[in-house]
Amino acid sequence: MSRRGQRIQDARAYVLHASPWRETSLIVQCFARDQGSVALVAKGAKRPYSVLRPVLVAFQPLWLSWSGAAEIHTLVRAESGPVRLLTGRAMMSAWYLNELILRLMPREDPHPGVYDAYERALDALVDPQARSHAPALRRFEWLLLEQAGYGLDVPPPDFDDAAAEPALRQALRERLDQLLDTPLRTRQVLLDLQRY
């Protein structure tokens, strides 16, 4: 099939970020399991009665269909999966995960392992029994760095060991700072929230 006629049907995906485009549309940055990070234009999604408007929500599993060969594809259809309710610190942690994917994953480079780890991390953030979000965040950071080719040259630690968490957080933060030319915005917000 030629690149011009590329169509993707019912791809499992999550919305990472959406921004306004023109009067009634959105540019939606998505992370699809088998396609990687993709940019889609959702035409008419800002209209009050758009069928896309209530569906294109962050942290909710979606099935997306799109077409096109340009850098930004055209969203054709979107269906939502089960609702995942995030609040407070869990939501800020989820935004942090989104920013990591947007900043570290190349466009249209599939990483099913990162996608699965992202889903597991979101499920852990929703878990009311979890005393801390740190194990879910460190586990995701570790796997993302490994999958992106920037992993640490040590065996994986016990992510649930609270005593080892500060050292692990520092090591991962240093690695991320080496890779990114500007600091993560959500990291600073999370650090500010920890003071309260």
3-80, what's its fold?
A: OB fold (Dihydrolipoamide Acetyltransferase, E2P) (2.40.50)
In tens digits, what is the pLDDT along the chain, a chain of 196 residues? 344 558 999 999 999 999 999 899 999 999 999 999 999 999 999 998 899 988 999 999 999 999 998 889 999 999 999 888 888 888 889 999 999 999 999 999 999 999 999 999 999 999 877 788 899 999 999 999 998 888 878 888 899 888 988 888 888 888 888 887 766 666 666 666 555 5
Sign, CA dihedral 73-77-80-81, equals negative
Domain extents for the chain? 3-80, 88-194
E strands, the chain, in order: 7-21, 25-32, 36-42, 62-67, 72-80
> Does the model's pTM come out above 0.85?
yes
- Give every CB contact of residue 26 below 8 A, 6+ residues apart in sequence: 18, 19, 20, 41, 42, 45, 46, 52, 56
Domain 88-194, CATH class in plain words: mainly alpha
What is the tally of helices (H) and strands (E) in the chain? 5, 5
